[in-house]
Amino acid sequence: MPKAKSRKKIEGAIIRVKETLTNTCLEDFLGNKKTREEVVDIYLNIVNKDFLKSFKVFPDKSFLFYGPPGNGKTFAIKCLAGEIGKNKGQIYVVVPYEIGKYGTAYINLGAVKMNTFFETGKELSQKENVKGVIYLFDECDVIMGKRENFSSHKEDNKVLEILMKHLQRIHDEDTNEYIFFTTNLKEEIDLASIRSGRMDKTVVFENPDKNARFELFKKEIERINENAGYDVIYKYNLDHLVEESSEFNCCDCIEIPKRALKNTLLKIMKRRSRNMVFPVYLTNKNLLEEIKRQKERNSKIKKMGFLV
């Protein structure tokens, strides 16, 4: 069995902390009203950290975003970082933990990588031009799975133990470090990982309700028309689109106008040698056709046993 490399060698050769600044902000995040309000509360919690401390109230440091895929869990975190970055001198760096990159089957190596990941992030948070660090664990159920599972490996448990140690440290220390976890499968997470005192706040990201779908369709259509310089999508009925998309997630709603435009352009390109008609226009009919295709696509995915 291969021996674990020393931490000193790992830092230079294997660990790569990806620093990602984002230009998105909270107004870009669209979803259900309650979810949006809770995301805004997290933003206020972070930017008003010193105000909370003046009342001996400690800010939340760890967050779990969960719910069906395609509803903006990771995007909401980027929007938070971007919104904070709009404030002068409030640059927060998003540091993602890439499961496929840091995961390992070698004994002790995964735990060392996890420890080095957090130590590197803490050093980054103390740099002069960085106000704070947001650690991002996408699909966290992969490393926070229930330890009693038959498939659980001793190395997996060691990695989880190191993660829990740093989660507790971030919760207890007065640092500008915040840790976000996302998952589609909350029920697969070890309960000790998300108990009170370790996980400060959980936010559910459900499929968009009628109001949220209305805003998602509206914003994407307006964006397409603005980019085109004219109303390429016109004579559309938002209420009709909302009624026909009751089981869609946020990504589905955003993709419908995009796909409708792309399919229309493809049809034009196929008859390029014939009469080309400009400008290009789409109507409600084109959007409804694409909604129908998306329903068929979702139905096939469900039959295959995947989450939608």
pLDDT tens digits in sequence order for the chain, 308 residues long: 444 444 444 343 333 344 455 578 999 999 999 999 999 999 999 999 999 999 998 899 999 999 999 999 999 998 998 888 887 666 788 889 976 555 555 556 788 889 999 999 999 888 888 888 999 999 998 888 766 654 456 667 888 889 999 998 998 888 899 999 999 998 888 877 777 777 899 999 999 999 999 999 999 999 999 999 999 999 999 999 999 999 999 999 999 999 999 999 988 887 765 566 678 899 999 999 999 999 999 888 766 555 55
Closest CA to 78 of 93, 90, 88, 68: 93
pLDDT the model gives residue 85:
80
pLDDT the model gives residue 305:
52
pLDDT the model gives residue 142:
85
Taking the C-alpha atoms of residue 135 and residue 177, their distance in angstroms, rounded to an integer, is 8
Q: Which fold has domain 210-303?
A: Helicase, Ruva Protein; domain 3 (1.10.8)
User: What's the pTM?
Assistant: 0.85
Superfamily of structural domain 7-204: P-loop containing nucleotide triphosphate hydrolases (3.40.50.300)
Query: What is the separation, in whole angstroms, between the first and last Cα of the chain?
Result: 40
Q: 307 is written with which tokens?
A: 């989450």
- Residue-range domain boundaries for the chain: 7-204, 210-303
pLDDT the model gives residue 15:
37
- Exposure pattern of 127-143 as b/e (b: 16+ CB <10 Å)? eeebbbbbbbbbbbbeb
